[in-house]
A and B are shown apart, each in its own frame.
Chain A
Amino acid sequence: MAEIADNFFGLFNYWVVIVLMMIGFYTVISHDNLVKKLIGLNLFQTAVFVFYISMGKIAGSTAPILMHGPGSEDVLYAHPLPHVLILTAIVVGVSTTALGLALVVRINEAYGSIEEDDVLAADFETQEAESETEAQRKARADARHAEAEADEEYDDGSEDPRSPEQRAADNEDKEPRS
């Protein structure tokens, strides 16, 4: 029991990371609203930031600020490198969010909605309409094509159903290809 508690409290920060990350992940997957998706993505990334920051913390350490030059004090510092790294990652995260939001604004302008379902439905409708005009055009074209090809003869070497006489008669008025 104590071990489990130790595990839990000793790795407390990681539990927070996991929970936060899963909440974010779930939000990205389950929500239809594009802004909510972005919020979920942000949560997801933030969880990773917390992961990096807590990784650099050493029990009993203080902020890594040198007051009196290197080596002059015997103080335990937190590891600064992961913190610096995550500053970069935060910048990446912010730009991702900014770009995402910009896209959402454009989507809203183009479709009048930021619900993924609505957008997909609108796309589906355009596609239907396009394929319908295409089908109509194709039907017209096919009809003409069929007329033109009606008297084309198909021959792959299989037996011709017509009798030789009829064939000869047919051959009089048109020239099948050899």
Chain B
Amino acid sequence: MIEQFFAQMPALVIVLPLLAAPMCVLLHRAALAWFVYLITAWACFGLAFLLFVQVKIGGPISYAMGGWPPPFGIELVLDSFNTVVLLLVTGIGAICSLYAKASVAAEIARERAYLFYAAMLLCLCGLAGITVTGDAFNLFVFLEISSLSSYGLIAMGAKRRALLSAFQYLIMGTIGGTFMLIGIGFLYMMTGSLNMADIAERLPAVADTRTVEAGLAFIVVGASLKFALFPLHVWLPNAYTYAPSSVSAFIAATATKVAVYALMRFLFTVFGAAYAFDELPLGEVLMVLAVVAMLSGSMAAIFQTDLKRLLAWSSIAQIGYIVMGFALASSAGITASVTHMVNHGIIKGALFMAAGALFWRLRTISLNDIAGLGKHMPWTSAAFVLAGLSLIGVPATGGFISKWVLLEAVIEPGHYWLAVAILVSSLMALIYIGRVVESLYFRERTEGQAVPGEAPPIMLVATWTLVLANIAIGVHATPLVGAAERAATALLGGGA
């Protein structure tokens, strides 16, 4: 019995939220729907943890969906790389499920709340699906499931500007998704297979054709649109700014990371590092874009007056770090990428949650409106400061660990100018986080500004869980870096 359960875990992690979503709709009551969401999200987290441990002990798992053996049926593959990403996605999802209760009650009409929870579950299902699937077309389908639900979620934002932001995201996201579809089509034309491991085996024979090159190009551009690599980032600031707080926190922490995961999966597992980075100059292109993203994103963040938009721009910069890591195509580089994926997921989740807690009280989030809140909302403000320090890369926080491994990865091959770019971007983070801190602690609330109390405990618990997780990583990063190193080995070993 228990063995049966263990054997079915890879599928359960997708099927559970997929089944729970219609249940939310059927239950219809906001409180019940939230309960279903909460249980499902935590169950997925539990499953992801078990899978992580199982892979760590027993090596990669392959699961044939519906009993059809690969490469004919859809295969779910779990290795040291995607269990880490899965753990991040479901972990953030679980914590968001706690956070969502209070934030949804304040931001979304009661009669529509159950739809919100259903969409969150679908989004979770899509993101988990992208992570675990070993089938290229299946990946596209899950990508669209997560994207479609996130368009809907963003459109639920309190301001009417959320609608146009969601629409713009929909246009850009669909183009990105369709590009990936074209790329997958090209690969299928040349190899006659959709199973990633199978494609990888057959690809070298036909690698020198223009079709495969075009396929690679389409997949890279499509995925880059999804994770908002400069200059394909224009949808991101608006989408993150106007989305409901819990959606910003969840999507900012997970969606872009999963899209990066998808690209890395294609580049390293399907095409192989030698093809993508040695024969084609992809590494150089990505590296330049990453540097521009880091600098321009941080620069733009400095000049924002809306807190959530500031964080959104900072996300664009942070994506640059992640891309830079894997663009090096070295073991150290991929380790840095994976480490920063997790760390940035946790940091940005915490920051958006803290911003959401401020929004919950104030209904607005510009730097002027949060002036002087350090006194009135001490826990929220302190959480923001700690997570912000991590973004700068202060030691004993997760962000420092990311920076350490990334710097190690770029300095080792002698890319000193990349190291300079990373450090400059970190120092720009000091400026934009500093602006928020000064607003929170060094300005007084002026007349006409409400003096709010602290945010509800459940929001604080969620936020502080992430903040503490971040600090825990900062002082004891060996498990994370070890997992990231195993992921890099799995990716570069060529095996799925």
Complex-state Cα separation, A134 to B366, whole angstroms: 10
Question: Does B188 belong to the interface (CB within 8 Å)?
Answer: yes
Sorting the interface of chain B by its residue count into under 10, 10 to 19, 20 to 34 or 35 or more gives: 20 to 34
Task: Name the residue in B160, B189, B447, B449 with the highest tally of chain A Cβ atoms < 10 Å from its Cβ.
Answer: B160
Contact of A37 among B171, B178, B366 (CB under 8 A): B171
Task: State whether the Cβ of B155 lies closer than 8 Å to any Cβ in chain A.
Answer: yes
| CB-based nearest B residue for A55 | B189
Is B54 at the interface (CB under 8 A from chain A)? Answer: no
**Chain B residues within 8 Å of A25, by CB:** 175
Q: Is A119 an interface residue (CB 8 A)?
A: yes
Minimum distance in angstroms from B124 CB to a CB of chain A: 18
The answer, among A82, A111, A120, A141, for a CB contact under 8 Å with B160, is A111
Expressed in whole angstroms, the Cα–Cα distance for A141 and B445 within the complex equals 9
CA distance A96 to B143 in the complex (A): 12
- Closest residue to A51 on the B side, CB-wise? B185
Residue A104 is within 8 A (CB to CB) of chain B in the complex: yes
Give CA–CA (A119, B166) in the complex, Å: 13
Q: Do A99 and B152 have beta carbons less than 8 Å apart?
A: yes
Residues of A with C-beta under 8 A to B194:
85
Which residues between 97 and 136 of chain A lie within 8 Å of chain B, taking CB atoms?
99-100, 103-104, 106-107, 110-111, 116, 119-120, 123, 134
B414 at interface, CB cutoff 8 A: no
Q: Is the CB of A107 within 8 A of B174?
A: no
Which chain B residues in 132-177 approach chain A with CB under 8 Å? Answer: 137, 140-141, 144, 148, 151-152, 155, 160-161, 163-164, 166-167, 170-171, 174-175, 177
Chain B residues within an 8 Å CB radius of A134:
366, 368
Q: Which residues of A contact B141 (CB under 8 A)?
A: 88, 92
B182 interface contact, C-beta 8 A: yes
Given the complex of chains A and B, what is the CA–CA distance between A141 and B174 in angstroms?
46
Set A28, A99, A137, A141: member contacting B148, Cβ < 8 A? A99
- Give the docked Cα–Cα distance between A34 and B185 (Å): 29
Chain B residues near A137 (CB-CB < 8 A): 446, 448-449
Chain B residues with CB under 8 Å of A140's CB are 446-448
Using known A-B contacts A106-B163, A123-B161, determine if residue A45 contacts B189 with beta carbons closer than 8 Å.
no
Chain A contacts for B189, CB-based, 8 A: 55
What is the CA–CA distance of A119 and B178 in the complex, to the nearest angstrom? 27
- The digit string for A123-164, where 1 denotes a CB below 8 A from any CB of B, is 100000000001001101100110000000000000000000
Min Cβ gap A82→B in Å is 7
Please report the total number of A residues contacting B with Cβ < 8 Å: 37
Q: Which of B26-52 contact A (CB under 8 A)?
A: none
Instruction: Decide: B185 and A52 in contact? CB cutoff 8 A.
Output: yes
Q: Which of B309-353 contact A (CB under 8 A)?
A: none
B447: contacting residue among A45, A52, A88, A141, CB under 8 A: A141
Contact call A48/B185, Cβ cutoff below 8 A: yes
B178 touches which of A45, A95, A116, A141 (Cβ 8 Å): A45
B181 touches A (CB below 8 Å):
yes
**Total contacts A-B at CB 8 Å:** 84
Distance between B357 CB and nearest chain A CB, rounded to angstroms = 22
Residue A89 lies at the interface, judged by CB distance under 8 Å to chain B: yes
Beta-carbon contacts of A79-96 to B below 8 Å, as 1s and 0s?
Answer: 000100100110010011
Task: Contact check, A96 vs B185: say whether CB atoms are below 8 A apart.
Answer: no
> Is A41 engaged at the interface, CB distance under 8 Å to the other chain?
yes
Bound CA–CA A88/B135 (angstroms): 14
Which residues of the other chain, B, contact A116 by a CB distance below 8 angstroms? 164
Q: In the bound complex, do residue B175 and residue A89 qualify as a contact, i.e. CB atoms below 8 Å apart?
A: no
Q: Contact: A34 with B137, CB < 8 Å? A: no
B170 smallest CB distance to A (angstroms): 5
Are A96's CB and B175's CB within 8 A? Answer: no
Give Cα A111 to B167, complex, Å: 14
The answer for the CA separation of A48 and B185 in the assembled complex, in Å, is 9
Let me know if A28 and B137 touch, CB within 8 A: no
Residue A55 contacts which of B161, B177, B185 (CB distance < 8 angstroms)?
B185
A52 to B137, CA, bound (A): 12
Are A89 and B181 closer than 8 Å at their CB atoms?
yes
| B residues in contact with A51, CB < 8 Å | 182, 185
Which parts of A46-73 form the interface with B (CB within 8 Å)?
48, 51-52, 55
In-complex Cβ contact of A92 among B144, B188, B366, B368 (8 A): B144
A55, A103, A123, A141: the one within 8 Å of B446 (CB): A141
Residues on A with beta carbons closer than 8 Å to the beta carbon of B446: 137-138, 140-141, 144-145
A44 touches B178 (CB 8 A): yes
**Which B residues are in CB contact (< 8 Å) with A34?**
167
B170 CB contact (under 8 Å) in A85, A89, A100, A145: A100
List of B residues within 8 angstroms of A92 by Cβ: 141, 144, 148, 177
State whether B151 touches A103 (Cβ < 8 A).
Answer: yes
Instruction: Determine which residue in A51, A95, A103, A144 has the highest number of CB atoms from chain B within 10 A of its CB, and name it.
Output: A103
28 CB < 8 A contacts A-B = A25-B175, A28-B171, A44-B175, A44-B178, A48-B178, A48-B181, A48-B182, A48-B185, A52-B185, A55-B185, A85-B137, A88-B141, A89-B140, A92-B144, A96-B148, A96-B174, A99-B148, A99-B152, A103-B151, A103-B155, A107-B167, A111-B160, A116-B164, A123-B164, A134-B366, A134-B368, A137-B449, A140-B446
Q: Which residues of B contact A (CB under 8 A)?
A: 137, 140-141, 144, 148, 151-152, 155, 160-161, 163-164, 166-167, 170-171, 174-175, 177-178, 181-182, 185, 188-189, 194, 366, 368, 444, 446-449
Q: Which 8 A-B pairs have the closest CB atoms?
A: A141-B446, A110-B160, A92-B144, A103-B167, A107-B163, A106-B163, A96-B174, A137-B448
Q: A34-B167, A88-B141, A116-B164 are in contact. List 19 more A-B contacts (CB 8 A).
A: A28-B171, A41-B171, A45-B174, A48-B178, A55-B185, A88-B137, A92-B141, A96-B170, A96-B174, A99-B151, A100-B167, A103-B151, A103-B163, A104-B167, A107-B164, A123-B164, A137-B449, A138-B446, A141-B446
